[in-house]
Amino acid sequence: MTEEHMPAVVTITKVIDETPTIKTFVFDELFNIRPGQFCMVWVPGVDEIPMAFSAANAITVMKVGDATAALFTLKEGDKIGIRGPFGNGFFPTGKVLAIGGGIGVTPLFTLAAGGEVDTFILGARTAEELVFADELANVTDLKIATDDGTRGYHGFVTGILDQLDATEYDTICVCGPEMMMKGILDRLIARGIESRGQFSLHRYMKCGVGVCGSCCIDHEGLRVCRDGPVFTGDIIRNSEFAHHHRGPSGRKE
């Protein structure tokens, strides 16, 4: 096994309450990451789940299930296991637009923090749920959309995209709810620039290294953990993307 396949036991050094449902966990080890790569996070006694890095020594987590609920009970000094980094990450060139919805901002934040994003569209249900808005405003041309209009544009991130000329950007990096990403992909296809889009997919994963096949997507059998999680729009436009997910058994849902 290579080093990244073995879990590193790390100590949590800081817990940051980002929103009522999102926390950042900072740990005492730096990982050599590319923005968009992920790790498998082992929560002792509970489960191991995939998480995007929000920094070389941090993950930012939304409370959505048993494992994340267990993470939310941890504090400074507690330990978790980290395997990774895994995946191919983002590979932008030229002028870059990033679009993040909800917790999907996490892998894009590392891209922006590294000075690789020109314009950033950040979306959330409400102003209270916006993550990294202040930090992003310092390093990009930030545009905000909230579903309820409590901050920025009243509506979805696609509404802001409609106000821009997407063809002005050489790379469009996207992460968020799948139907949000589908709306963006449809707009890129309509302009004939879907190959400029780079979409970070989330799928059920067991191993994280391309062995178990639990995260394969039709029709090419691409493994999200190994061949992704970032795919260009021309690759996923005719896949199962935005049509269904798969559960632990591999059954379509």
173 is in an annotated binding site: no
In the CATH scheme, what is the code of domain 3-86?
Answer: 2.40.30.10
**Given this chain, do its domains 3-86 and 96-236 carry the same CATH topology?**
no
Q: Is the pLDDT of residue 240 over 90?
A: no
Q: Is the pLDDT of residue 151 over 50?
A: yes
Mean pLDDT value of segment 166-178: 96
Mean pLDDT value of segment 238-247: 61
Sequence-distant contacts of 178-183: CB under 8 A, at least 24 apart: 178/202, 178/241, 178/242, 179/242, 180/101, 180/104, 180/123, 180/156, 181/101, 181/241, 181/242, 182/241, 182/242, 183/156, 183/158
Q: Is the pLDDT of residue 242 over 60?
A: no
Mean pLDDT value of segment 101-124: 97
39 is in an annotated binding site: no
Percent of the chain, pLDDT > 70?
85
- Of the listed ranges 42-56, 172-186, 231-245, the least confidently predicted one is 231-245
Q: Please check whether residue 70 is in contact with residue 208, taking contact to mean a CB–CB distance below 8 angstroms.
A: no
216 is in an annotated binding site: no
pLDDT given for residue 241 in this prediction: 63
Greater model confidence, 202 or 127 = 127
pLDDT given for residue 248 in this prediction: 58
Q: Please check whether residue 173 is in contact with residue 232, taking contact to mean a CB–CB distance below 8 angstroms.
A: no
Domain ranges in the chain are: 3-86, 96-236
215 is in an annotated binding site: yes
What is the third-level CATH fold of 96-236? Rossmann fold (3.40.50)
User: How, if at all, do strands 222-223 and 216-217 pair?
Assistant: antiparallel
pLDDT given for residue 1 in this prediction: 46
